[in-house]
């Protein structure tokens, strides 16, 4: 095994199985890489002693002949998943230094498979944002261009995988937070069907949308990890009780005769020409590989943004009420009485974006506005979900851009929340419907500024068809090498 730092997860798993490298050696290699790229600010908590102990346990397990395919493979977790051995902050001051008494189910599943945790990854506070500029612990830099955002909310996850500080990272997607940062950093980001990954131990933002997924180099790597990560969890009331399946089973299927739906609403006026060109070229590649392109329509998709920005704040205003200075995290030092303590703790602990959303959410749920905003948004959500079902009668998967532009610059949208919210234009419809969706690298932007910034192709499949979607992505990645390109210096 030559270049372990740039190897894919599949290659690392093979090297471990062949005993060409030990889990401890791999852990040391990645810890050193993390240390050498502190400038990116991708990691919030790194504890080499914990990582090396897990790696030693993985090696011992292999020596006993009890290793699985992922035993000893390193992984990093978005700081939205609670972990017993690392701080769990959701990138918020209100949870600074918080140690959870248990691991999230996703973390636990991967730990039981023998994966080794490298640390916790920066993100937007409570996963609210599209640029990672909302973290209380500072922005994350995009490894392709330090002037560009890494995307959000899973910006630490995307930067870490793009810079090869981890072969794989967990992430979460509520309205686009896996697909958008994956697109901005030239990696593969996959969100399964809502209800397929457990939400237990995922710090809640908008519970009817929050979905755990992965940042990887390739679709193949994602499929390998999903085999251990996904599954029914009785501790999560929205977990779907379906038999386990092999997510790698479509990796060799190819795309001959596949009908790819191209929604006209995803190619509207806001789409930048360089992104459109790269996406159209990817669609042509699929045609060359034997797929058929079908024009489809998702007429209400453009209402996704207003619907999402009513529903997500409504759910977050309820979820974030648990942070009261009594049970978790930050408590104000000086206060008069209980009410004053709660007010001050929340005022000091939450950053501006969670505060804005708590206010919006409380407003749309209040008496007199509930029917006009919340109920109306739920009704339009249903229309959007139904439109996906009619689209999937005409096609097998849907493809289009992930974002209207390549990664934007720091500060470009931060002062204008509505322009930031528009970054989710093409990702939010799939989230509202709860269908699986992913972003795969398909080119680079044009021009002197955008030339080095990656473009993502979005794939969307019907409920529980993530294995097929991964196969469709894999076919493209077998024929192209965008997913193998590395940022300069990486």
Asked if 462 is part of the footprint of ligand GLN (rule: CB under 6 A), the reply reads: no
Cα–Cα distance measured from residue 380 to residue 432, given in angstroms and rounded to the nearest whole number: 10
What mask, x for binding ligand GLN by CB under 6 A, covers residues 149 to 168? ----x---------------
Told to check if 132 binds ligand GLN by CB under 6 A, we report: no
CA 421 – CA 111 distance, rounded (Å): 35
Measured from the CB atom, the residue of 128 and 163 that comes closer to ligand GLN is: 128
Among 23, 75, 107, 128, binds ligand GLN (CB under 6 A): 128
Taking CA atoms, 291 is separated from 184, 278, 395, 396, 464, in Å, by 26, 18, 11, 10, 21
From the CB of 149, what's the least distance to ligand GLN, in Å? Answer: 12
Token digits of residue 268: 């509207």
Q: Which stretch binds ligand GLN (CB under 6 A): 3-11, 56-64, 172-180, 281-289?
A: 172-180
- Tell me whether residue 78 is one of the annotated catalytic residues: yes
Please pick, from the candidates 27, 104, 107, 127, the single residue that binds ligand GLN as defined by CB under 6 A: 127
Could you tell me which stretch among 170-178, 221-229, 268-276, 288-296 binds ligand GLN (CB under 6 A)? 170-178
What CA–CA distances, in Å, run from 160 to 75, 92, 139, 188, 200? 10, 20, 13, 12, 24
Going by their DSSP bridges, the two strands 397-401 and 292-296 should be labelled as unpaired
- Choosing from 22, 130, 157, 177, which is the catalytic residue? 177
Q: Which residues pair with 142 in a beta bridge?
A: 145
Catalytic residue among 78, 191, 344, 413: 78
Taking the least distance from each CB to ligand GLN, the nearer of 254 and 417 is 417
Q: Which of 246, 255, 199 is nearest to 226 (CA)?
A: 246
Q: At its nearest, how many Å lie between ligand GLN and the CB of residue 314?
A: 12
The distance of Cα 328 from the centroid of its chain, to the nearest Å, equals: 25
Is residue 177 within the footprint of ligand GLN (CB under 6 A)?
Answer: yes
Among 424, 436, 466, 469, binds ligand GLN (CB under 6 A): 424
Query: What's the closest the beta carbon of residue 352 comes to ligand GLN, in angstroms?
Result: 13
Give me 19's structure tokens.
Answer: 């005993």
Cβ atoms of residues 167 and 9 within 8 Å: yes
Nearer Cβ to ligand GLN (266/308)? 308
Give catalytic status of residue 366 as yes or no. Answer: no
Considering only 89, 100, 130, 157, the residue that binds ligand GLN (CB under 6 A) is 130
Q: Where are the beta strands (DSSP E) in 39-178?
A: 43-45, 74-78, 116-121, 168-173
Burial 74-97 (b: 16+ CB within 10 A, else e): bbbbbbbbbbbbbbbbbbbbbbee
* Closer residue to ligand GLN (CB): 177 or 439: 177
| Burial (Cβ within 10 Å: 0-12, 13-18, ≥19) of residue 18 | exposed
Residue nearest to ligand GLN (CB): 177
Total Cβ atoms within 10 A of residue 67: 20
- Residue 89 binding ligand GLN, by CB under 6 A: no
- Using CB under 6 A as the binding rule, whether residue 402 contacts ligand GLN is answered as no
Q: How far is CA 326 from CA 336, 343, 358, in A?
A: 15, 11, 19
Which of 100, 105, 170, 174 binds ligand GLN (CB under 6 A)? It is: 174
Q: Does 396 bind ligand GLN (CB under 6 A)?
A: no
Q: Which residues are catalytic?
A: 78, 153, 177
Contact residues toward ligand GLN (CB under 6 A) are: 127-130, 153, 173-177, 205, 312, 424
């Amino acid at each position: 095994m030559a270049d372990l730092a740039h190897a894919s997860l599949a290659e690392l798993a093979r090297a471990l199985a062949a005993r060409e490298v030990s889990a401890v050696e791999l852990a040391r290699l990645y810890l050193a890489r993390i240390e050498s790229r502190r400038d990116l600010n991708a990691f919030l908590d790194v504890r080499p002693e914990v990582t090396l102990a897990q790696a030693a346990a993985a090696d011992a397990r292999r020596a006993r002949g009890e290793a699985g395919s992922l035993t000893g493979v390193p992984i990093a977790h978005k700081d939205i998943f609670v972990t017993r051995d690392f701080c769990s902050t959701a990138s918020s001051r209100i949870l600074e230094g918080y140690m959870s008494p248990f691991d999230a189910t996703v973390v636990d599943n991967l730990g039981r498979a023998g994966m080794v945790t490298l640390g916790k990854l920066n993100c937007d506070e409570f996963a609210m944002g599209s640029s990672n500029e909302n973290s209380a612990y500072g922005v994350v830099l995009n490894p392709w261009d330090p002037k560009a955002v890494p995307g959000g909310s899973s910006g630490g996850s995307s930067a870490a995988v793009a810079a090869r500080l981890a072969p794989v990272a967990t992430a979460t997607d509520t309205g686009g937070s896996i697909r958008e940062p994956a697109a901005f950093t030239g990696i593969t980001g996959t969100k399964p069907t809502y209800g397929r990954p457990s939400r237990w131990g995922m710090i809640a933002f908008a519970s009817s949308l929050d979905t755990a997924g992965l940042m990887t180099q390739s679709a193949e790597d994602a499929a390998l990890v999903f085999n251990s990560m996904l599954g029914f969890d009785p501790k999560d009331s929205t977990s779907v009780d379906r038999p386990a399946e092999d997510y790698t089973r479509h990796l060799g299927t190819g795309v001959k005769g596949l009908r790819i739906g191209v929604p006209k609403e995803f190619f509207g006026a806001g789409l930048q020409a360089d992104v459109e060109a790269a996406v159209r070229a990817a669609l042509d590649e699929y045609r060359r590989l034997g797929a058929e392109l079908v024009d489809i329509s998702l007429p209400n998709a453009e209402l996704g943004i207003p619907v999402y920005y009513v529903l997500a704040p409504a759910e977050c205003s309820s979820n974030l009420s648990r942070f009261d200075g009594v049970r978790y995290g930050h408590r104000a030092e000086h206060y008069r009485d209980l009410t004053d303590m709660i007010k001050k703790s929340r005022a000091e602990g939450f950053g501006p974006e969670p505060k804005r959303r708590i206010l919006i959410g409380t407003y749309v749920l209040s008496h007199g506005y509930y029917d006009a905003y919340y109920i109306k948004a739920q009704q339009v959500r249903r229309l959007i979900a139904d439109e996906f079902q009619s689209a999937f009668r005409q096609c097998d998967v849907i493809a289009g851009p992930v974002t209207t532009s390549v990664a934007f610059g720091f500060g470009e949208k931060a002062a204008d929340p509505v322009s930031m919210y528009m970054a989710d234009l093409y990702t939010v419809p799939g989230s509202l419907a709860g269908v699986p969706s992913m972003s795969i690298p398909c080119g680079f932007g044009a021009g002197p500024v955008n030339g080095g910034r990656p473009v993502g192709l979005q794939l969307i499949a019907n409920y529980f068809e993530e294995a097929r979607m991964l196969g469709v992505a894999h076919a493209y990645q077998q024929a192209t090498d965008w997913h193998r390109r590395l940022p300069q210096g990486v």
